[in-house]
Amino acid sequence: MDLTTLNSILTIGETVAVEFKRCGSGLESDTYESVCAFLNRFGGDIFMGVLDDGTVVGVAEKAAPDMVKNFISVISNPAVFFSTIYLHRKL
């Protein structure tokens, strides 16, 4: 994703296909609610480290690898998510 596209998304804000999550030092519980909502529609993008108003606050650098690992572990657990989830990492 290029910077122009990202700025456009941040300016437009959250939609039925875009969700912002603060996630300062860890995943918030409602992150998984957003995943479920996207699975029940047509998909979407979750931007972590972004406030509801589109302000980028980032994610703690030391916390990021564990957040990714935990996120993948939870959504890959068939006891929690029954649908197949396709992840695409956008930088």
Q: Is pLDDT at 81 greater than 80 in this prediction?
A: no
CA dihedral 60, 80, 40, 35 (to 10 degrees): 0
State mean pLDDT over 54-72. Answer: 91
Q: Is pLDDT at 31 greater than 70 in this prediction?
A: yes
**Distance in angstroms (rounded) separating the CA atoms of residues 38 and 31:** 11
State mean pLDDT over 18-43. Answer: 87
Residue burial 3-21, b: 16+ Cβ < 10 Å; e: rest: eeeeeebbeeebeeebbbb
DSSP bridge pairs for 47 = 20
Report field, pTM of the whole predicted structure over 0.85: no
**Distance in angstroms (rounded) separating the CA atoms of residues 5 and 25:** 26
Residue 29 banded pLDDT, cuts 50, 70, 90: confident
Tokens of residue 43, six digits = 């998909």
Q: Is pLDDT at 17 greater than 90 in this prediction?
A: yes
